[in-house]
Amino acid sequence: MKTHLSLAAIALALAACNPPQEAKTAPESPTATAAVTAANAWCRPSPNGAKAGGCYVTLTATTDDRLTGGATPRAGELQVHEMKTENGMMKMAQLTEGLPLPAGQAVGLAPGGNHLMLIGLTAPLVAGETVPLTLKFASAPEVTVQAAVRQPAMAAMAGMDHGAH
């Protein structure tokens, strides 16, 4: 019985030395609740000699935020781009103000739409490898993902118009 009481006393003493987890957290700052999750990150393989490559990901922010850019060791720059049709022509342009991420809504970057451009590739993006992408946001902390290099799924390509090819 004494052994059980001694063990109980030791357990209570240890518990007293370790405050609850919430007591250890830093005071909440305005950006402490801002967070973005990333899912399904991937990049398209690039041909030898290509100086740019495209990558895609789905982002969900806990509060209204903006994807402003990023970095990768595989390229000189990581930019956020949009694709849009103007006067019957597809045009690509950098989103210099970033891509809006409405709170709680999944925002998909996909072929034929908004995407990440890797500018100044250090080497071709080869199917089967992974590429680290560090994404930067207006409010949320940076998020680093490992993007698989692969061809786009045929289901995603089915809705695209290939008549001009």
pLDDT digits (tens, 9 = 90+) for 4-27: 433 333 333 333 333 333 333 334
- The residue behind tokens 């946001």 is 137
CA atoms of 31 and 63, how far apart (whole Å): 9
Residues 6+ away with beta carbon under 8 Å from 33: 62, 63
Beta carbons of 55 and 162 less than 8 angstroms apart:
no
What CA–CA distance (Å, rounded) separates 79 from 24? 37
* Amino acid 154: pLDDT: 67
Mean pLDDT of 23-50: 75
CATH of domain 36-152: 2.60.40.1890
Question: Among the listed ranges 16-25, 48-57, 112-121, 143-152, which one has the minimum average pLDDT value?
Answer: 16-25
Contact criterion met (CB below 8 Å) for 133 and 41 = yes
Q: What pLDDT shows up at residue 29?
A: 45
